[in-house]
Amino acid sequence: MPHLNIEIKASCKDQDKIRDILKERNADFKGLDRQIDTYFKVNSGRLKLREGNIENFLVFYNREDKSGPKESNVTLFKYDPKSNLKEILLSSLGVLVVVDKQREIYFIDNVKFHLDKVKDLGNFVEIEAIDKEGNIGREKLLKQCQEYMKIFDIKESDLISKSYSDLLIKL
């Protein structure tokens, strides 16, 4: 079932500062996840298979490429990493790009935070205000995202409009 996200991605020179703020606010630390995201060639949107020690999902999403808070419509499918799903996708669609990252995952209520170290790209922070049930609404999600941008002192110049996959393709 698709759900709505309002999210930002920003380059991050001081992940320790953001980590400290999250701890001060009693964020729920889910762990450090080594994630390999394999993006597949598709006609519209983005399709990736996330392989991690915490998160294992097939993810399809549509999102604008703009800096600042942006809306994403996301569909997640939790899969068994022992399945042959990756083989099927590789054979049928082909690989667009592979993103290799270390991700710290935190939650405060419905807001998810990532502190990412992306191979060949650097360090980033992501804020995702998530409405899984359809009862929070776009405006509140946007306000949550903007509030944490201020708390973390994320500057306009730090914002990234593209996905990691797009950034890697351009290298």
pLDDT in tens, 1-60: 678 899 999 999 999 999 999 999 999 999 999 999 999 999 999 999 999 999 999 999
The helix or strand, by DSSP H or E, that contains position 148, with its residue range, turns out to be helix 138-151
What confidence tens digit (pLDDT) does each residue in 138-163 have? Answer: 899 999 999 999 999 999 899 998 89
Chain-centroid distance, C-alpha 86: 20
**Domains held by the chain: number:** 1
Residue 1: per-residue pLDDT: 64
The three-state secondary structure class of 94 is: coil
pLDDT at site 127 = 96
CA distances to 13, 17, 114, 117, 154 from 74, rounded to whole Å, are 28, 29, 17, 23, 24
- For CA atoms 79, 80, 84, 86, give the dihedral sign: positive
4-13, 59-68, 108-117, 135-144: which has the minimum mean pLDDT?
59-68
Task: Tell me the pLDDT of the chain averaged across its residues.
Answer: 93
Tokens representing 161 are 């409009």
Q: What is the CATH number of the domain that holds 63?
A: 2.40.320.10
By the 8 A CB rule, do 38 and 63 touch? Answer: no
pTM for the predicted model, two decimal places: 0.90
Q: DSSP label at 82? A: T
126: confidence class by pLDDT, cuts 50, 70, 90: very high
> Range of 88's domain?
3-169
| Paired strand residues for 106 | 29, 113
The yes-or-no verdict on residue 85 having pLDDT over 90 is yes
Q: How far is CA 110 from CA 68, 77, 131, in A?
A: 19, 19, 7
Quote the Cα angle for 62-111-29, to 5°. 120
Composition of the chain by helix, strand, coil, percent to 5 = 25, 45, 30
Three-class SS state of 24: helix
